[in-house]
Amino acid sequence: MAHLSIRANELYNLYENKFNMPPRGWDHGIETMKEYENYLESKIKNSKIKVLFVCLGNICRSPMAEFIFKDILDKKGLSNKFIVKSAATSNEEIGNDMHYGAKDKLTQKNIPFSKRKAIRITPEDYKNYNYIIVMEESNIRNIKRIVGEDLNNKISKLLDYSDNPRDIADPWYTGNFEVAYNDIVEGCNGFIKYLENKNVI
Ligand code: 4NP
């Protein structure tokens, strides 16, 4: 890539920090350095951070994470800076709404949620999202079978953002939605803190 101005270099780093990936380089049809600076500035200001939560079935943990994270953003006045969705690695529950245990738990904790249909992660999702955040180690292996290797280091585990990194047990098997809820809240708060520490929100 061509040698960047100090300002463009600074904006390049800001972009990379915010979106967890480098921007397009100054080579693709952008004529002047000033234009490139404006391009980066406008992207940083106007583009949203895209977060995809992923679990096995997309009916328990990842939709809970989606709604819990949206609620945290809402309370912090940050909703307009993010796009947040969730997806499955398996085909088992595609099209189905959240598990009643997940809905009951969110209702009990006063977390708003809407009717939804489980979807499966696609290779396009890997390109489009900045952060792909999973619930447990096996989710990573399963995602890679669908999207290929994690070449852009977009995949992380939700509780890697906590002080005590670990998997989030599947309440579909354990029946324990309280533990899942508490773990997800811990991870979502950790992720917010991580972004705050990077100065991107
Ligand atoms: P989730 O739980 O991954 O937290 O949505 C599961 C839901 C359904 C299945 C597995 C896990 N299933 O195999 O159908």
Q: Is 69 among the domain residues?
A: yes
Q: Is the CB of 64 under 6 A from ligand 1?
A: no
Q: Is 135 among the domain residues?
A: yes
Rounded distance, CA 170 to CA 61, Å?
7
For 64-108, write each residue's pLDDT tens digit. Answer: 999 999 999 999 999 999 999 999 999 999 999 999 999 999 999
Residues 110 and 165 in one domain: yes
Q: Is the CB of 172 under 6 A from ligand 1?
A: yes
Which ligand 1 atom sits nearest the alpha carbon of residue 139?
Answer: 3
Ligand 1 centroid distance, CA of 155 (Å): 19
pTM: 0.97
Rounded distance, CA 62 to CA 54, Å?
5
Q: Is 1 among the domain residues?
A: no
| Count of the separate structural domains present in the chain | 2
Give percent above pLDDT 90 in the chain: 97
CB-side exposure of 74: number of CA atoms within 13 Å?
A: 10
61 labelled catalytic? yes
Q: Say what angle helices 6-19 and 33-46 make with each other, to 10 degrees.
A: 30
The CA–CA distances, whole Å, from 176 to 35, 45, 61, 138 equal 54, 41, 11, 19
Q: Is the CB of 59 under 6 A from ligand 1?
A: yes
Atom 8 (ligand 1) nearest CA: 57
Instruction: Name the pairing type of β-strands 131-134 and 155-157.
Output: parallel
Residues 161 and 63 in one domain: yes
Q: How confident is the model at residue 3 (pLDDT cuts 50, 70, 90)?
A: confident
What's the pLDDT score for residue 175? Answer: 97
Q: Catalytic one among 71, 125, 170, 183?
A: 170
Residues 85 and 160 in one domain: yes
Ligand 1 centroid distance, CA of 103 (Å): 14
Contact assessment for residue 5 and residue 33, using Cβ atoms and an 8 Å cutoff: yes
